Amino acid sequence: MNPITFKSHIDHLAKLKLHHITVPSEIVDKVGGIGTRLMCSINGQKAFHGGMVALGGGAAYITVNKKRMKEFGVELGDEVEVTLELDHSKYGMEMPEELEALLEQDQEGERRFEMLAPSKQRYIIHYVSQVKSSQLKIDRAIMLINNLKAQPEDEFDMRNLLGLPPRDS
């Protein structure tokens, strides 16, 4: 698929407390539909990994967090030029070096990670990527992969993965 460029606005979904760009239904169809992982560029700025979420009537939205809005110099209501391309990365986002190195060294951890649904893989990648310090990324990666390996293969528990106690029933 060639890059697709269109005009949109920075909108706000009050119910979800998030800013987003709207992707018209005809563009949603051209790029492969809801759930397609994309590289998204706003006003020619550095592209970021994203996915489309159904908005209704065939349209979709892509979340634009406050950090990106500041980085791109846009505000609520601004008209923006959006360019979408298919995301050909393995996980739909950039894998931190620290997590990648751990998975290369830990065969069981890699096997268990690869068994997860793509959304859970992206959650782990995002959780490790959130911190700036390389040592904290290593610490988070080790904790998550060790907790993942400690879980039964057929039972995924997010609280356990994060090292949190189970909720009271």
Q: What angle do CA 99, 104, 107 make, to 5 degrees?
A: 110
DSSP category for residue 20: E
d(CA 86, CA 40): 9
Mark which of 53, 86, 119 sits at the end of a domain: 86
Express each pLDDT in 13-54 by its tens digit.
Answer: 999 999 999 999 999 999 999 988 899 999 999 999 988 999
Query: Is the separation of the CB atoms in 168 and 159 below 8 Å?
Result: no
Amino acid at 61: Y
Is residue 60 located within the same domain as residue 119? Answer: no
As a whole number of angstroms, the distance between CA 93 and CA 119 comes to: 11
Per-residue pLDDT, 127: 96
Give the model's confidence band at 141: pLDDT under 50 very low, under 70 low, under 90 confident, else very high.
Answer: very high
Give strand ranges (E) for the chain. 4-13, 18-23, 37-42, 48-51, 53-56, 59-63, 79-86
What span, in angstroms and rounded, lies between the C-alpha atoms of 112 and 79? 43
> 59 and 78: one domain?
yes
pTM greater than 0.85: no
- Residue-wise pLDDT for 79-124, tens only, equals 999 999 999 889 988 899 999 999 999 999 999 999 999 999 999 9
* Residue in 157, 134, 138 with CA at minimum distance from that of residue 147: 157
How many domains, the chain? 2
Judge if 123 and 71 occupy the same domain. no
- The answer on 112 and 81 residing in a single domain is no
